[in-house]
Structure 1
Amino acid sequence: MTDMWEVLTIIGTIAFALSGAIVAMEEKYDLMGVYILGLVTAFGGGAVRNLLIGVPVSALWEQGSLFIIAIVVMTIAFLFPVILHQQWIKFGLLFDAIGLSAFAIQGAMYATDMGHPLSAVIVAAALTGTGGGMIRDVLAGRKPLFLQQEIYIVWTMVAGALIGLHVVTTPMGYIVLFVSVIILRMLSVHYKWQLPRRELKSFPEKTNTSL
């Protein structure tokens, strides 16, 4: 279980750090902006999760090796922006889906190990998977990805439910779930799957024509 946790954490950290760095460069941020946005994307979801399920936020500072990994990835992205940006255009959604899946499963595992109820496990999965990207988009002045057209946060909640209900309990099960969430996320983009939506239209005020 510990090995699976570490692998998912490293995968998610790399994917989201790269995501944040690319967005920062697209918005023409300087080097410090690249580092800050990348770190927020990679660790923001975990910080929000920790706040909600009762883990001290200071626990984030114990992940020194992950900070080093994130900084190395962002530095490479900053030094070779053209090459990485070309690859990001091709594989950006895939990287995002990988980070989403890895962190959602990791968040659900965290909440389950702490003995939290199913509802908390689902919320932990959703916030860990989408929290970093949400903070990234807000800081970059963009509409958060999970609020846009394609189904996004639903797959994190499905992963959380399967883990919280103890349907997935083995390393192989986590691998299958990890790959499945990635595939479902990519399919939802390809086929433009959407959740039901309701739009409220404002009506023009009537002009008072009475004398």
Structure 2
Amino acid sequence: MLSDVVAAVPVRPFAVMNAVGLVAFALVGATKAIREEFDLFGVTVVGLATAFAGGATRDVLVGRVPLVLRSFGEISLALLGVALAVCAHIVLDAADEHPATLVADAIGLAAFTTAGAIVATNVGVSGFGVVAVATINAVGGGALADLLLGRQPFVLFDDFYASCAVLGGVAYWLAASIGGSPGPAAALCASVTVCTRLLAVSLDWHLPTAQRLGRHWRRR
């Protein structure tokens, strides 16, 4: 089964993961803006910010011009995601509550985690660097979207989200460290990230807070 997935991954796994992440996160970001009743311009801005912020930060960290400023294809894919979000809301009326939106978010998280890990590995950073860049690539767009929507970035509190990207980044680094080629390492990273995220949503996983730990300790 895994061999079939790996065989299906093209020679350039970064291009595939980046494209998937752009469409998925633009859709998710635009859906959040639609929920807040933004106009179409605002929906587009939030969707594009969600799609591009993480990757742009990744590129700055590794010392290159952000890909979004060098490729028209990036804009096209993100606009496709925004258009899909608008169409879904028109058809479904409550697209933000549809399970497919959560799945799209998990897929985008996995794709951008993998894309970030690939870039970081290619420039030769440490294992910590691979995990850090992968995580920033994955959660940066969502954090900016929350700020644009007037919220605290949800990755910083009460959700098992960035942790999934961390686990995926570790998986990629381990696979690459033992000599794995980019294709299998990318498949492993994406699988770990998307599976842990979907499990976290299904099982309502949350990281502990200091307050919860304190209450638990005082009850002993």
> Scaled by the length of structure 1, what TM-score is found?
0.85
Give the drift of 1:178: 1.2
Give the greater-gyration-radius structure (CA).
1
More helix by share: 2
Amino acid at match of 1:39: L
Amino acid at match of 1:127: I
Partners of 2:18 and 2:153 lie apart in 1 by: 22
SS in 1 for 2:210: coil
Give the gaps of 5 or more residues in structure 1.
201-211
Amino acid at match of 2:208: P
**Cross-structure match for 1:127:** 136
Give the drift of 1:194: 2.1
Alignment of 1:1-211 (within 5 A): 2-57=11-66, 59-83=67-91, 86-89=94-97, 90-165=99-174, 166=176, 167=178, 169-199=181-211
Give the gaps of 5 or more residues in structure 2.
1-9, 213-220
Give the drift of 1:169: 3.2
Runs of 4+ in 1 over 6 A off after TM superposition: none
Query: Is 82-91 or 136-145 further displaced after alignment?
Result: 82-91
Aligned residues: 199
Give the drift of 1:29: 1.1
- Backbone CA RMSD of aligned residues: 2.1
Amino acid at match of 1:146: V
Give the drift of 1:160: 1.5
Partners of 1:175 and 1:152 lie apart in 2 by: 19
Partners of 1:31 and 1:24 lie apart in 2 by: 9
Partners of 1:77 and 1:126 lie apart in 2 by: 25
**Cross-structure match for 1:208:** none
Mapped contact 1:117–1:164 kept (Cα < 8 A): no
SS in 1 for 2:12: helix
Mapped contact 2:25–2:81 kept (Cα < 8 A): no
Amino acid at match of 2:78: A
Give the drift of 1:69: 1.9
SS in 1 for 2:38: coil
Change in 2 beyond 3 A, CA 1:32/1:131: same
Partners of 2:60 and 2:136 lie apart in 1 by: 11
> Scaled by the length of structure 2, what TM-score is found?
0.82
Query: Is 122-131 or 29-38 further displaced after alignment?
Result: 29-38
SS in 2 for 1:116: coil
Amino acid at match of 1:96: D
Partners of 1:113 and 1:92 lie apart in 2 by: 32
Amino acid at match of 2:28: S
1:110-159 deviation per Cα after TM superposition (whole angstroms, max 9, x unaligned): 01001111111111011000000010011111232312323111121122
Give the drift of 1:32: 1.1
Fraction of identical pairs, as percent: 31
